[in-house]
Amino acid sequence: MKKAILLLEDGFVLEAKSFGAEGETLGEVVFNTSMTGYQEILTDPSYKGQIVTMTYPLIGNYGTNSDDVESAKPWADGFIVKEKSKIFSSWRGSVSLEDYLAKHNIVAAEGLDTRALTRRIRSSGAMRGILSTRDFDVVSLKAKVMASPVMVGRDLVRDVTCKQAYDWPGAGGRKEFFVVAFDYGIKYNSLRLLDRAGCKVRVVPAATKAQEVLALKPDGVFLSNGPGDPAVLDYTIQEIRKLIGAVPLFGICLGHQLLGHALGGKTYKLKFGHHGGNHPVMDLETRKVEITSQNHGFCVDMESIKDKNVALTHVNLYDKTTEGLRHKQLPLFCVQYHPEAGPGPHDAGYLFGRFTEMMRKFRKGRRK
């Protein structure tokens, strides 16, 4: 097996074995604590610009298949595991993880101490890194890392958004609502769950104007997850601002952060972010705790919107950071975490029902 090397911008180096594609890749190195769901993680467009390390020690044991994808292709810029399973076995598995990664040109490494790496990221914070199967010279690798872009200030949405609007095919059946979904890097499971909640969905590119969206006369607008720094996406924040109050809004992750900005707030970078399928979050209105799926590096600063008529609805029980908010009068709410799961627990699936309830109420109010 070929050698690989990982170097972080603080000089931390780990030697590893290459699997997947060979080459060299740069990105922000993050760790994900999900035990399964690696194919959904790889295909989540929010991982664009990041090299993902799985903390669970054995990955690849059920292979890959054509169902577990969250978008058309993998977007992660690199993949790191402690041990890649030598065999895969599942009635759904059709292609091994290494063949899947090689086919999609994703550089991957195994056989390194992912626990040491995770502890390093936790103590130093998320950092840029390079994973290489070609260059093993630490001075040259360090120079490449230092020349690569930092996550703060990056618009990665333009790389992952759809080029043209399309209708989500859905599973059929009667649809009570028509929803326009902004694609900032949308995951299929959000679309599947909107469909299941009774919504016919039209997906539109990130740069679509508010006027065009309103001309479609939707019952509600969905703001998707997506990669990069929300603070630089002014072109869409301005359009979202025009939709506030005009139509019910539901945002997830990047969509939530963009709503925060549109309401006049700010976002900041977390030290090492939240990535995994096991974060406890409290719904402050019901006092219920949900185990949630998470994938974000930025966070809405509640202090920055405290005078904007906004209520904090959800909080992360690990570090007390903002996990959800709603407007006190206007029909909009959003969450930082992932109620669509894919992968992860389904505890928060009720939020899709909250959205349809909001659209129903808004429709009634308009008829009066």
Report the binding-site residues for L-glutamine: 46, 226, 228, 254, 257, 295, 297-298
248 sits near ligand GLN (criterion: CB under 6 A): no
Contact status, residue 271 vs residue 126, Cβ threshold 8 Å: yes
- Rule CB under 6 A: say whether 228 interacts with ligand GLN: yes
Take residue 39 and report the two structure tokens written for it: 């194919």
User: Which residue among 38, 298, 337, 352 contacts ligand GLN (CB under 6 A)?
Assistant: 298
Which is closer to ligand GLN, CB of 50 or CB of 64?
50
Cβ-count burial of 12 within 10 angstroms (0-12 exposed, 13-18 middle, 19+ buried)? middle
Catalytic residue among 98, 110, 239, 340: 340
Can you tell me whether residue 17 is helix, strand or coil? strand
Q: How far is the CB of 55 from ligand GLN (least distance, A)?
A: 18
- Tell me if 297 contacts ligand GLN by CB under 6 A: yes
Which CB atom, from 63 or from 230, has the smaller least distance to ligand GLN? 230
* Interaction residues for ligand GLN, span 159-188 (CB under 6 A): none
Among 253, 262, 300, 315, the residue binding ligand GLN under the rule CB under 6 A is 253
- Residue of the chain from 225, 313, 321, 322 that contacts ligand GLN (CB under 6 A): 225
27 sits near ligand GLN (criterion: CB under 6 A) = no
Nearer residue to ligand GLN within complex by CB, 78 or 228: 228
Distance, CA of 64 to CA of 94 (rounded, Å): 6
3-state secondary structure 209-225: CHHHHHHCCCCEEEECC
Query: Is 28 in the active site?
Result: no
Backbone angles phi, psi at 198, to 5 degrees: 95, 25
- Through-space distance between the first and last CA atoms of the chain, rounded to whole angstroms: 70
Is 352 one of the binding residues for ligand GLN (CB under 6 A)? Answer: no
Active site residue 299: no
Can you tell me which of 84, 261, 279, 296 binds ligand GLN, judged by CB under 6 A?
Answer: 296
253 is catalytic: yes
Q: How far is Cα 123 from Cα 135, in angstroms, rounded to an integer?
A: 27
Annotated catalytic residue: which of 40, 70, 239, 253?
A: 253
Report phi then psi at 40, rounded to 5: -65, -40
Q: How many residues does this entry show for the chain?
A: 368
For tokens 């070929």, the residue is 2
Distance CA 196, CA 27 (A): 35
Residues that bind ligand GLN (CB under 6 A): 46, 225-228, 253-254, 295-298
Query: Which residues are identified as catalytic?
Result: 253, 338, 340
